[in-house]
Amino acid sequence: MNKNNVDILEGSEWVTATPDSNNITMPFYITEIGHFYAGENYMTDRSGYDSYMLIYSVKGSGYLISDGFNGEIPEGSAVLFDCRTPHCYNGRGEQWEFYWVHINGIGADGIEKAINYNGIKAVSIRNRGELIMQIRRIIDIGENNDICTLAEISACIHTMFNVVLRDSLDMSGRTGGGHTDEIQCAVSYIEENYAEQISIDDITEQIHVSKYYFIRLFKQYIGMTPYSYLINYRINQSKILLRTSDMSVSEISVRTGFSDVSNFINHFKKQTGQKPMDYRRNFAN
């Protein structure tokens, strides 16, 4: 059973929004947002609330239990979690000032997975002014429901998530852990030589790290394996040729580094859901 003790003090703000058809077409939208000065008895214990929630501690610390996370939300830190799963959060026996946002939208699932790549965590925010500015703007305009305001709110949430994501990636080591130059060198090598029959060994010769360590490092930093990145880059280049040239599918497959035309067609269909000639015809019409 859900339990709440909304022990909030003077100066707290609370804005609610009712989603309609305009909201749900946006990448992100809010259902509620607030700036609370929580008393020592403030507490929320619930599940089944259909949204993601971002909490940012301004002063004092909160405490969250949710989906394997059991820890503090220190001052200057933010945490994002899924309110559909059981969760409980409160202050730490003192006044706790925090911003909070309930967020939905077609982009919310993906960004939550990116931020919580290794599980829910309290992310120490470096650019605190930017995060607070975006939240304050949403509070100021959140009760409006015209399409332009909804688009601005979605953009604010996107910027807000980017702030949290950058610091989350640093915490989880996905920004390279001191190997940024090596990863960028590998990416450049792939993009400059994608038309050739390059291998992982060819790439690692450029950066002087072991093959298996490189594959793990590349995936942490880029979000996919080197092979997947190479195939994706080849497909993107083939799309340009299909749209801008009269080259045959066979010629394009060779030009973009595929070993044979059947291999190219199979990868293209897997990536785009259609065959190369169907893709070309769609842009010709």
Task: Please tell me the pTM assigned to this model.
Answer: 0.67
> How does pLDDT run across 73-130, given as a tens digit for each residue?
999 999 999 999 999 999 887 789 999 999 999 899 989 988 998 789 999 999 999 9
pLDDT at 176: 46
The reply to whether 203 and 128 lie within a common domain is no
Single residue among 144, 172, 200 that ends a domain in this structure: 172
The greatest distance separating any two alpha carbons of the chain, rounded to the nearest whole angstrom, comes to: 71
How confident is residue 201, by pLDDT bands cut at 50, 70 and 90? very high
The reply to whether 146 and 191 lie within a common domain is no
- Phi, psi (rounded to 5 degrees) for 251: -65, -40
Cα–Cα distance for residue pair 218/229, rounded to 1 Å = 10
Question: What contacts 139, CB < 8 A, 6 or more positions away?
Answer: 13, 15, 33, 34, 35
- Parent domain of 51: 3-172
**Coil, strand or helix at 254:** helix
The reply to whether 168 and 32 lie within a common domain is yes
Contact 259, 199 (CB under 8 A): no
| Structural domain count, the chain | 2
Closest CA to 104 of 164, 162, 54, 169: 54
| CATH code at position 224 | 1.10.10.60
The reply to whether 16 and 120 lie within a common domain is yes
The reply to whether 91 and 119 lie within a common domain is yes
The reply to whether 166 and 204 lie within a common domain is no
